[in-house]
Amino acid sequence: MNGTSDFPALLEGFFTDRLMRQLQVSPHTILSYRDTFRLLLHYAQGRLHKAPSDLTMPELDTPLIGAFLDHLEQERENSARSRNVRLAAIHSFFRYVALHAPQYSALAQRVLGMPNKRYTRRPVEFLTRVEVEALLAAPLLDNWTGRRDHAMLLLAVQTGLRAAELIGLRCQDIVLGPGAHVRCLGKGRKVRCTPLRKDTVTVMRRWLKERHGAPDDPVFPNARGTELSHDGLQYVLAKHLATARSHCPSLARKHITPHCLRHTLAMDLLQHGVGRSVLALWLGHESVETTAMYVHADLKLKELVQHPVNSLIK
């Protein structure tokens, strides 16, 4: 390799060999990493006045990357958390570089030494039982879209699937009958199974019969029959939240995202005695420590609320 051509080759190898072949990361991770490098290359092009294909590894040193991260926060108004996500992708690339291009080991170590930015974690936002009921009652069941949305929101609240896991479900992943469960491909390409409640089984059986899809078809397709996008899921949630807020005013005070439905299930499990290790397995967390934020939120909640809440998972 030479200084004028090794960066494009290393970047291509990182995506095709490391991420896709060796680690077999999810499509969501691929898209996130792709977007990171698109942003970085666009920034480098403007700063160095060079086409991305002409960039060399020595030019991608800590001053440029540090300036890029500042650009994300100051010009693009990214949060510190989003900045750290971009830095994690860059770190992953430079770990690959250190292994496959040892002539850049010193450069890689400098970049890998760039720390994450500290930030104050937002309080865990989740829905109460009354708010969940208002949300699930919002979709109109007299049309296809409403029935799809109701089934999708119910499954999200009852299973705590990540947004990417929910929209990535295929018809063959919903197993009904005795031991009913949903099977999903989570982070790290790990398969996990989550049990389904009786009322969820009833709704999903009815929906899958209407959906009438092939085993590999998406459970919750868009109007064109293809997989719903993350933006599509966000739109569905926002649409029904607008309706639910008219019946449940407390929703107006909350910023609800698809991930908040996952928080809702996690908090409900915790409040009903599920241990942290089981909670980590249910949610597909690699580390039990990841569940700590729910424990802290639960302790704060118990200081304010003294009466029990009806369980979402019974």
The catalytic residue positions are 162, 187, 259, 262, 285, 294
Q: Which of 239, 243, 237 is nearest to 256 (CA)?
A: 237
Calpha distance 67→204 (Å, rounded) = 49
What tokens were used for 25? Answer: 């990361």
User: For the purposes of burial, counting CB atoms within 10 Å of the CB of 102, is it exposed (0-12), middle (13-18) or buried (19 or more)?
Assistant: exposed
Calpha distance 213→176 (Å, rounded) = 15
What tokens were used for 186? Answer: 């989570």
Q: Which of 171, 288, 155, 175 is nearest to 221 (CA)?
A: 171
Calpha distance 48→60 (Å, rounded) = 11
Report the 10 Å Cβ neighbour count for 241: 19
DSSP label at 314? -
Q: Are 195 and 218 in contact (CB under 8 A)?
A: no
